Chains A and B, each alone.
Chain A
Amino acid sequence: MDPSRRLSLVPRRATLEQSVGLEARSDDELMLLARGGVDAAFSSLIHRHQARTLRLALRYLGRESLAADVAQDTFVEVFRALPQYQARGKFSSYLYRVLLNRCHMTWRSAHAEQRALQYAAETVAEIDEVELLLREWRRDMTSALGGLSEKLRSVVLLRYCAGLSYEEIAETLEIPEGTVKRRLFDALTKLRAALGDA
Chain B
Amino acid sequence: MRSRHDTNARVLAAYLEGEVTTSERAVIDGELGDSAQARKTLRQLQKIVDHLAAPAPDLETIDLEARVRAAVNQPLPARRTRARMLSVWLAGVAACLGGSLLLLVHPPAADEFRSKSNGTASAPAKRWAGIQVYKATEHATPEQLGGELSSNDGLLFSYTNLGSRPFDYLMIFAVDSRGEVSWFYPAHEQLGENPDSISIRREHANVPLGEIIRQDFAAGPLSLYALFTHEPRRVLEVEAWVKEHGRPLADSTITGPDEVLERIDARVEP
Interface residues of A (CB under 8 A from B): 1-9, 12-15, 18, 36-38, 43, 46-47, 50-51, 54-55, 58-59, 64, 67-68, 71-73, 75-76, 79-80, 83-86, 137-138, 141, 156-157, 160-161, 163, 181, 184-186, 188-189, 191-193, 195, 197
Say whether B195 faces chain A, with CB atoms less than 8 Å apart.
yes
Which A residues touch B56, using CB under 8 A? 51, 54-55, 58, 64, 67
Q: Which chain B residues border A36 with CB–CB below 8 Å?
A: 88, 91, 210
Interface SS of chain B? helix
Across the interface, B13 reaches (CB within 8 A) one of A2, A4, A86, A188, namely A188
Partner of B64, one of A1, A5, A46, A163: A46
User: Is there contact, CB below 8 Å, between B195 and A3?
Assistant: yes
* Listed stretches B110-118, B184-192, B252-260; interface member: B184-192
* Cross-chain contact B51 with A137 (CB below 8 angstroms): yes
Extra 11 A-B pairs, beta carbons < 8 Å, given A13-B89, A46-B68: A3-B195, A7-B72, A8-B84, A12-B85, A46-B65, A55-B56, A64-B58, A76-B68, A160-B53, A191-B48, A197-B44
- B186 lies within 8 A of A195 (CB): no
A-B contact pairs, 14 of them (CB 8 A): A5-B82, A5-B187, A7-B72, A47-B65, A50-B62, A51-B59, A51-B60, A72-B68, A76-B71, A80-B72, A163-B53, A181-B14, A181-B17, A189-B9
Whether B88 lies near A4 (C-beta < 8 A) is no
Query: Is B14's CB under 8 angstroms from A185's CB?
Result: yes
B185 proximity list for chain A (CB < 8 A): 83
| Contact status B51-A141, CB under 8 Å | yes
* Chain B residue, CB-CB nearest to A156: B52
Any chain A CB within 8 A of the CB of B73? yes
What number of A-B contacts does a CB cutoff of 8 Å give?
153
C-beta contact mask, B174-202 vs A, less than 8 Å → 1, else 0? Answer: 00000000000111011001011011000
| B88 surroundings in chain A (CB, below 8 A) | 12, 14-15, 36-38
Would A160 and B64 count as touching, CB distance under 8 A?
no
Are A157 and B52 interface neighbours, CB within 8 A? yes
B137 CB contacts on chain A under 8 angstroms: none
Q: Which of chain B's residues have a CB closer than 8 A to the CB of A9?
A: 69
CB contacts under 8 Å to A, within B85-101, are 85, 87-89, 91-92
B232 at interface by CB-CB < 8 Å: yes
Q: Which of A4, A43, A157, A192 contacts B41 (CB 8 A)?
A: A192
Complex contact B45–A7 (CB within 8 A): no
B44: which A residues are within 8 A, CB to CB?
192, 195, 197
A2 close to B189 (CB less than 8 A): yes
Contact A50–B64 (Cβ < 8 Å): yes
A117 vs B70: C-alpha distance in the bound complex, in angstroms?
A: 29
